[in-house]
Homo-oligomer: A and B are copies of this chain.
Amino acid sequence: MEEVILKKIFLGLSVILTGILLAACGSVDNLSNDTNSSGSSKGKTQLTGQTNTGYYQGVIKNGRYQTSKSRGVSVQQESNQFNIKGFENGLLNISKKQFSTKKYVFQEGQYLSTKRVEAWLGRKSKSNPTGLNPVKSKSTSATKRNPIYLSQIDEQDYMTRSGKSLSLQGMTIGLAINSVDYYKKTQYGPTYQTDLTNSQINSEGKKIANQVLSRLRNNKKLKNIPIVIALYKQASDDSLVGGNFFAYSTNNSGTTSVNKWNKINQKNYVFPLQSNQKGPSQNDADSFDNFKSQVQTFFPNLSGVTAQAQYTNGSLTGMNVNITTQFYSQTEIISFTQYIQSAAQRYLPANAPIDITVQSTEGIQSFLTRKANEKKFSAHIFNSY
């Protein structure tokens, strides 16, 4: 237990230190060199390799991964992990519409530094003229104050290869907008919250997007590439699932304001639904409940069964099921996993991709997965020698 605590403290410290170091090291507004050298040992560029065409290859320089120039900012600032993972995964999926994984290589954002992103995420003020959030208002009333709208910025660079060199051919920017802004009236006082309406999130997000786009175009390396901007509505801090993207735009070479927004109709749910909550499909909710009741009484001790479900245009487009129980032997894990496999095939909704992880207090024990439009789940049981 002490080890766990020490690890957490160490993690916390290292996140803070990384932030400080990155900020201190500067290169802040110096845009980095293009990754087009590969002959000299100093600028040697490699790619990560590709597991399958669902993923982009990434860029390695001098044997090290080319990390983001604003590495760690989100991890430091967001308290809900699901808002980080969901934001980044969703942004990749939007990028794939514009930049094919077969043709483009992914590079972690090299044009927005930690210092710049931190400034942009701040409130506008005399000392922070580039802040994209509104000036601090005198009122501290939840409904009258100016809330913080912009909460995360993610930059993704898309490169193409010609021979041994890579050149920037496109960029995707994700902007995450709060649905709830948590704030304190006094430094150590209680936390209050301002709830934002969907229309506020939509209009403020789009305003910020225009500012970001015109700022990026000021950089001559970003003037003549397509820049995709996508807007994400963050979930509240207590949510067990992340927020959702609601709009994106593809901005052709040279454009400095967004011409046209495309709507994204996507929403996430946690199963089992709360009794007062209505999901998009009663069928799916019933299927999950049947699966859950089959699984949770398998052992004399109860198993916990929950899921994250994502709906796009009203249809289930993905599900992560999480099962937690206490095992007393490896053979129990094997039998349970095999049973889940048949129960999942029988009860869980068809067609959508589904991952199922089986955990105990010791960590993951097995997992099952079914890709979109496959019929069978495949299972993997973790072992030990």
Contacts and interface: CB of A to CB of B under 8 A. Distances in A.
Interface string A360-381: 0111100101000000001111
Interface stretch (A45-53, A182-190, A218-226, A282-290): A45-53
Contacts of A106: 331, 335
Given A64-B298, A331-B88, A384 B308 contact: yes
Nearest to A75: B328
Given A48-B338, A51-B379, A341-B49, A85 B384 contact: yes
A193 interface: no
Interface stretch (A1-9, A30-38, A254-262): A1-9
Contact of A334 (B1, B7, B58, B380): B58
A351 interface: no
A170 interface: no
A151 B129 CA distance: 69
A242 B364 contact: no
**What size tier do the contact residues of chain A reach?**
35 or more
The quantity of this chain's copies bound in the complex is 2
A4 B336 CA distance: 24
A234 interface: no
A118 interface: no
Contacts of A331: 58, 88, 92, 106, 108, 156
A18 B297 CA distance: 16
A139 interface: no
Contacts of A320: 383-385
Interface in A329-358: 329-332, 334-339, 341-342, 355, 357
A72 interface: yes
A82 interface: yes
B14 A301 contact: yes
A364 B58 CA distance: 21
A86 B385 contact: yes
Interface in A107-146: 108
A65 interface: yes
A236 interface: no
A361 B8 contact: yes
Contacts of A332: 65, 67, 108
B361 A382 contact: no
30 contacts: A8-B361, A11-B361, A49-B342, A51-B378, A51-B379, A56-B334, A57-B338, A58-B331, A58-B334, A64-B297, A64-B299, A67-B300, A74-B328, A74-B329, A75-B328, A75-B329, A81-B384, A82-B384, A85-B383, A85-B384, A86-B385, A88-B329, A92-B331, A108-B331, A154-B329, A156-B331, A308-B385, A320-B385, A355-B383, A367-B380
Given A7-B361, A65-B335, A88-B330, 15 more contacts: A1-B5, A48-B336, A48-B338, A49-B338, A57-B335, A57-B338, A58-B335, A60-B298, A64-B300, A65-B339, A68-B328, A320-B384, A357-B364, A357-B382, A380-B380
